[in-house]
Chains A and B, each alone.
Chain A
């Protein structure tokens, strides 16, 4: 068995193409000066988890189960039109919890313009309020079940 060459990696479903660029270019032994900009713009990824959380960071390692190591990870909490990036640090994610790993386009807007960034405390409050609202909706529905709404 031989190691996959860089071209194979690029064409395969492997996460290797999402690894941090400098490593990728060393692998490719491409003239770094030509791709200086790409090297500087280390690739930021969005990892969507099964519980709906959204993590952002730089992919440092992965395996066939999609276990992944994210460096400089932060969680993007979104409630309605509010959002906040909560810093987390170095994260190892167990593969079974991964839904999707996406590459972020730095030229495109990250979020729609009408969304506002708030502090961590504020987003926590908003999350709590949202949770309580859904809980309340659940209990109301349960109480009204005898009406057979559906």
Chain B
């Protein structure tokens, strides 16, 4: 690959043009006649002047530096980077979905409303919840929405509960969302098996407990076997249970948060339901609730009249209000709907079964070469520890991750969860063939061997990427935040 270092601005030469516009067929208006002087430019914007071919080559070159599920294996633990079937894109382009406007009258968009209504119900059925809002635009947005619902519920009962309990293995977004929603977070230690410590939970709950936020299976890829006891302890104290759906890819069609005792659930459609993920979205984080929380859902939700027509249900006096402009990331909801309908209930169950099988296969093949802090059977993801490589050869998990780049893989999540030393967190998802899994495993085994035989090789990796090892510490300590060109 030829490294392209010049910025598009540096390619600029006066007078070069990459476009041709038709003759102007409307009267020209002098900008100073319609725009206040203070807002008018005094000199032209410094836009790059280049030929079309330069534009195409420049951005094509940059795009090739991207890594995505369409060009390689992406086992980023906790993120469910599964392949996104292209039929989702086809369906999202249907004119009835792609060419409509949010202000169109209800009667002219009945198909789109039916799709949303059906998706609400499908997600409710999948999670064991009673009603769903599709508005939240991301996982953390769903968490915040769910916590606002919990707050509204407690307040409607005259209770000012202020604390949200999160396990120490939880996603960092959980305590962050709780704080943004105005709660105080209480961190709960895990027990030796990586599960919620029931005794610590009993000590932590009280009349000020608003909710417990939990991921199940948890961030270590382990199923909280005593989830019913956990639910009982929290409910007996008057608190609610929040389910972070980040790990739903392990349980679809097998177990439902609603049956485990959860009251509020969010799903990450960009993880579990194969909508595009990474690169800043857009995502979708629908939230499902048990009926006692339904009156507080953001409005509108899509309703069904007795005559079979669909409508925006705005008549929700206890609603926490709107949490997203219009109706969420509609195009993403279409893709998730296409995915769910393509697979059907049996197919979604099979998705989770294969995701779990793939993770267990990888864990057991890698176990002889890396430390496995929680051996046994995992769900859809598992954690390894690189602490033996670090103490024996000075090769850290970060170095292993960098070396994986030379093999053409996106590295797994590293240094998370925080309660595992030199953590490597691998989630293969269900969409990978055995050959892909084996090739990645072989690369990991080779790197473990290199760490012993030639540690410098690993410490200086990567070698094949457009930029080599970055100085992350200096980048964070002395960031250069502007372009000096």
The yes or no verdict on A and B being binding partners is no
Residues of A within 8 A of B (CB): none
